[in-house]
Amino acid sequence: MRPDLAERLRLTLVVSRDEAAPRAVTELAEAAFAGGVTALQLREKGALSDREIYEEALELREFCRARNRLFLLDDRLDLALAADADGVHLGQKDLPAAVAARLLPPGRILGVSVRTVAEARAALADGAAYLGVGAVFPTGSKDDAVLVKPETVREISALGAPTVAIGGLTLANVKAAWGLGVTGLAVISALTRAADPRAAAAGLLEGAGI
């Protein structure tokens, strides 16, 4: 694990083409980066073909590298490898973390979504570099989102790996989320639906006290 990973995952924009609309993903990301977002995670769940996701990932990889921001691809290890993304983020129903860790080149990042301490321990044992924990608050951005109790988030954070909270984060609750011991925050609608993503990103960081 790179020593700066927690800092580089301090605030992640999770986005798809549809969620960014009517703006382009790059337009939204440019504003979000200016407000303090440190990483971009592409999560395409729509009807795009593999070729379309690959081409989008190529563009975003170059876009992020030119701005010294991490670029991660959600779910798809094959496309993350093909597009030379900085890493891949996997859920519990995706390719097993141990397999992904074996296939990823040195220096690439593996993130895994977890909801329990047992899942977190298993992900770390299998080679995860960081953990995504959530949903920490009710959210409409993910159909199968299940709330994770605050005490569970604290226990997972205490394992010592970079831990990113996701799910329903807003300016009103981001301080409470940060107080659970996480090292990073990941947001979707708080930025994709913001009239001013730059101000929204800066507000989230300020609200969390980061």
Q: How many domains does the chain have?
A: 1
Q: Give the model's pLDDT for residue 95.
A: 97
Alpha-carbon distance of 33 to 39, in angstroms, equals 8
pLDDT surpassing 60 at residue 15: yes
- Averaged confidence pLDDT in the chain: 95
pLDDT digits (tens, 9 = 90+) for 166-190: 999 999 999 999 999 999 999 999 9
CATH code where residue 141 lies: 3.20.20.70
**pLDDT at position 139, please?**
76
What are 147's two structure tokens? 């709330």
Closest-CA residue to 72 (of 199, 193, 161, 186): 186
Cβ count within 10 A of residue 209: 9
What's the pLDDT score for residue 201?
98
pLDDT at 45 over 90: no
Domain residues for the domain of 102 are 5-208
Where is pLDDT greater, at 140 or 25?
25
pLDDT at 146: 85
CA 184 from chain centre, in angstroms, equals 9
pLDDT at 210: 92
Own/partner contacts of 89-92, CB < 8 Å, gap of 24 or more, are: 89/41, 89/113, 89/132, 92/119
**Cβ proximity of 142 and 167 under 8 Å:** yes
Reported as a single tens digit per residue, the pLDDT across 57-82 is 999 999 999 999 999 999 999 999 99
Q: How confident is the model at residue 140 (pLDDT cuts 50, 70, 90)?
A: low
Average pLDDT over residues 10-31: 97
The reported pLDDT for the residue numbered 148 is 97
Place of tokens 């597009």: 83
Predicted pLDDT of residue 3: 53
